[in-house]
């Protein structure tokens, strides 16, 4: 018996979120935001928290500093019943911070990576991997020390019998230099959004990107916002429609919440169509509250929002 359903290896930071911003920032000028939220951030932490709220046993491996933001990160994860035994507190580096400026359905982010850049593959030991059934990695481009050996990490996980997934997220350098041909054979489910997928495959659109990588990949799930999500598996391409929210609080973490819903069902051995449907509903639920985790207080809350706002029954 494994101790955890999922081990998340990823970046950790605090989000400082500004809403109702009066204009766009310009150098030499000052503008006003009417709302401020300081909360747990990072793609990986949002995924882990919401996956745990869906009833799964989740552990986290990452790196933070020894500061007040580090305390907020660990306590927020622990409050969602995520195991933080393997979160490393470093005296050398500060905890990462992302400044999020929300504008309607989109946002602009500025991230100070801090400790997240210094997590290494060697710190994710076989003993840690062996505690879990599944390995998930998010935001690999923000984790520069981990990224250079990420193929080794996924190969080790597969050799130890884990299933695996990755959400690559945005590349701040916009180089998109992942070793896809070496990496994807060791990833069971690859979970980029449409824009990321087009960049990462250096393609014109999703279909041409799939043509480039289909000979060496497993399952690809491409998140596409209001257009739902697209699945490529066993030479078949399918689309699952989105659940649309007419009163969006914000879209922070919606993709991570999709990942949580999808992987929650995937690790139970459910059909991909069902995994996609649950991913789409959890992504929609995310948009009903500000920030990435507020709508995922617990499974009862999740089920209630799904039923009342989207007429969906878990």
User: CA 296, CA 199: separation in Å to the nearest integer?
Assistant: 31
- Write down the pTM of the prediction: 0.93
Encode the chain (314 residues) as per-residue pLDDT tens digits: 899 999 999 999 998 989 899 999 999 999 999 999 888 889 999 999 999 999 999 999 999 999 999 999 999 999 999 999 999 999 999 999 999 898 876 778 899 999 999 999 999 999 999 999 999 999 999 999 999 999 999 999 999 999 999 999 999 999 999 999 999 999 999 999 999 999 999 999 999 999 999 999 999 999 999 999 999 998 899 999 999 998 888 788 899 999 999 999 999 999 999 999 999 999 999 999 987 898 999 999 999 999 999 999 99
Domain 43-94+117-310: which CATH number of 3.30.428.10, 3.90.870.10, 3.40.1190.20, 3.40.190.10: 3.40.1190.20
Q: Fill in the DSSP letter of residue 246.
A: S
Q: Give the tens place of pLDDT for each residue, 15-71.
A: 898 989 999 999 999 999 999 988 888 999 999 999 999 999 999 999 999 999 999
Long-range (24+ apart) CB contacts under 8 A made by 161-164 are 162/7, 162/129, 162/132, 162/133, 162/134, 162/135, 163/133, 163/134, 163/135, 163/188, 163/266, 163/267, 164/134, 164/135, 164/136, 164/188, 164/189
**DSSP-derived 3-state class of residue 132:** strand
Q: How far apart are CA 248 and CA 267, in angstroms?
A: 29
Contact (CB, 8 A) for 190 and 213: no
Ordered by start, the domain boundaries in the chain are 43-94+117-310
**Whole-angstrom distance, CA of residue 287 vs CA of residue 309:** 11
């Amino acid at each position: 018996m494994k101790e955890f359903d999922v081990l998340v290896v990823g970046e950790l930071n605090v989000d400082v979120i500004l809403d109702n911003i009066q204009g766009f920032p310009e150098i030499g000028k000052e503008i006003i935001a009417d709302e401020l939220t300081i909360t747990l951030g990072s793609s990986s932490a949002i995924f882990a928290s919401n996956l745990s709220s869906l009833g799964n046993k989740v552990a986290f491996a990452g790196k933070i500093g020894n500061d007040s933001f580090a305390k907020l990160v660990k306590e927020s994860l622990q409050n969602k019943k995520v195991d933080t035994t393997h979160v490393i507190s470093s005296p050398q580096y500060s905890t990462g911070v992302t400044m999020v400026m929300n504008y309607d359905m989109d946002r602009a982010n500025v991230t100070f990576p801090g400790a997240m850049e210094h997590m290494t593959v060697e710190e994710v030991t076989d003993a840690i991997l062996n505690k879990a059934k599944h390995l998930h990695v998010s935001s690999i481009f923000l984790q520069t020390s981990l990224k250079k050996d990420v193929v080794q990490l996924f190969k080790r996980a597969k050799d130890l019998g884990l299933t695996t997934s990755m959400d690559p997220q945005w590349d701040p350098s916009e180089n998109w230099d992942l070793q896809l041909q070496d990496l994807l054979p060791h990833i069971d489910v690859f979970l980029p959004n449409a824009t990321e997928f087009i960049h990462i495959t250096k393609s014109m659109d999703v279909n041409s990107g799939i043509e480039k990588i289909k000979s060496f990949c497993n399952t690809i799930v491409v998140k596409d916002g209001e257009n739902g999500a697209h699945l490529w598996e066993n030479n078949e391409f399918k689309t699952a429609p989105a659940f649309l929210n007419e009163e969006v609080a914000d879209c922070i973490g919606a993709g991570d919440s999709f990942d949580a819903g999808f992987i929650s069902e995937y690790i139970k051995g459910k059909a991909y169509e069902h995994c996609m449907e649950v991913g789409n509903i959890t992504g929609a639920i995310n948009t009903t509250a500000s920030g990435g985790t507020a709508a995922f207080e617990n499974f009862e809350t999740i089920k209630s929002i799904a039923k009342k706002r989207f007429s969906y029954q878990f």
